Structure 1
Amino acid sequence: MTLTATEQSSAVEHFAAKLRFETDPSDVAAAFAAGEDFVLVDSRGHASWHQGRIAGAIHLPHAEIPERAPVEIPITTPVVVYCWGPGCNGSTRAALQFSRLGYAVKEMIGGFEYWAREGLEIVDDSGPITRAVDILTSPRPSNGAVTCDC
């Protein structure tokens, strides 16, 4: 199947927009490691936060964003939001709230589930949680670093 010029243009726009507004766990972990300036927001409820979360994230359930975000996060700071995983649209709701407030925001696809499955750093109220890398979601290179390799 060959695309018409209009279809090709639409496809380019679509995929460019996805990359502008979405990120993934590997890219967020790399941004953390590089010291990039952004805030990672866990938009899940309180019970979920206490059960486990990404180390370095702040807790801001999507219903609290309109009130708390302007006080707690400078408008010039980029935001990355996440929720449970692909079966949950809480991060989409959170991203919508942040964008309505004027923040530059990205949604972390895969959410907490894929962050944890990739063996990246997670914590709960007691401290660090160690999880093995799920070989169905992330390769295990010989040096031990997790990489998407995409």
Structure 2
Amino acid sequence: MTDLGARLAHVDARLAYEIDVIAAREAVEAGEAVLVDTRRLESWRHGHIAGALHLPKTEIASGIDSLPRDRTIVVYGWGPGCNGGTSTARVLLAAGLDVRELLGGYEYWVRNGFDTESGGVVSHQSPDPLVTAES
């Protein structure tokens, strides 16, 4: 069995690195963070978090200098089964940026009923009661 100290260190590291959609939205609204969509262009066009920047993982080298250095970068991919945000985060962290990864990605942002954008139109759907604290 793994020792308790190692497990606690792992959990502490996750809490320091990952951010849920509610905390991410609050950080963006407070001007402390910016959201970065790491998905390919077709996915971005299908819909993305309103106000997010687009930096697909295939364009990191050419786009890294356009990211703000004065705020936390919150990267996201499609959802829990997508690690595009994780691989992008690794590159951005290695370049010295303050980076967090959005738990649940775009999927959980949408499921919480937060604003999304597609074709220049901002909209949102009703929150999924299974993932929101609202009643």
Structure 1 and Structure 2 fold alike (TM over 0.5): yes
Aligned pairs, number: 135
Q: Which amino acid aligns with 2:124?
A: T
Which of 37, 42, 52 lines up with 1:42 in the alignment? Answer: 37
State the partner residue of 1:144.
none
1:24 & 1:110 partners in 2: Cα distance?
A: 7
2:112 & 2:77 partners in 1: Cα distance?
A: 16
Change (3 A) 1:107 1:55: same
Change (3 A) 1:139 1:37: closer
Change (3 A) 1:126 1:36: closer
CA-CA distance at 1:32 after TM superposition? 2.2
Q: What does the per-residue CA deviation read over 1:4-44, in whole Å, with 9 as the maximum and x for residues that have no partner?
A: xx8221122111100111111111012123x1322210000
Q: Which amino acid aligns with 1:48?
A: S
**Which structure has the larger Rg over C-alpha atoms?**
1
TM-score, structure 1 as length reference: 0.83
Q: Which amino acid aligns with 2:6?
A: S
User: Structure 1: 5+ residue runs without aligned partners?
Assistant: 142-150
Which of 56, 59, 66 lines up with 1:64 in the alignment? Answer: 59
CA-CA distance at 1:76 after TM superposition? 4.3
State the partner residue of 1:26.
22
TM-score, structure 2 as length reference: 0.91
- 1:52 equivalent to 2:36? Answer no
Sequence identity (%): 36
Task: State the secondary structure of the residue aligned to 1:39.
Answer: strand
